[in-house]
Amino acid sequence: MLLVEDDPDMREPLQLLLEDAGYRVIVAEDGAAALTAMGSLRPDAVVTDWSMPVMDGVALCRRMRQEARLATVPVVLMSASSQPPGVAWWDVFLPKPVSIDQVEQALHTLLGSSNDGRVGEQGDTGDEQ
């Protein structure tokens, strides 16, 4: 899973909580950094903030939907503002403040129970030989 959040006070606790819940988490500080990271990986899901410098979350979602390799990656968009108007390039919108339970529920709904990005779940190669 790719977590995209520019505010370290939000990013670091959310990353730790998601990792504690069993998710493998890669972080990026803005949409441009997220796209760079996705050049070498295709995450199971993206959890992104809307308001960020360089490239915001809505622009990130739009760019992902325009790239065939990333077009079907589920996206959770979070914001302290109301849901952005226009085309919803994301799958789930969560108003901030969000709880880890809300994020986990959204991910579970989007990913289902198989290969949902959790360590040790079906599809995880882990350290097995």
User: Shortest CA distance to 47 belongs to which of 26, 69, 16, 72?
Assistant: 26
Model confidence pLDDT, tens digit, residues 49-94:
999 999 999 999 999 999 999 999 999 999 988 877 777 899 999 9
Classify domain 2-111 at the CATH topology level.
Answer: Rossmann fold (3.40.50)
The span from the CA of 83 to the CA of 38, in Å, is 25
The span from the CA of 64 to the CA of 99, in Å, is 25
Q: Could you state, in order of their start, the residue ranges of all structural domains in the chain?
A: 2-111
CA atoms within 13 A on the CB side of 13: 8
What's this model's pTM, rounded to 2 decimal places? 0.84
pLDDT at 15: 95
pLDDT at 87: 75
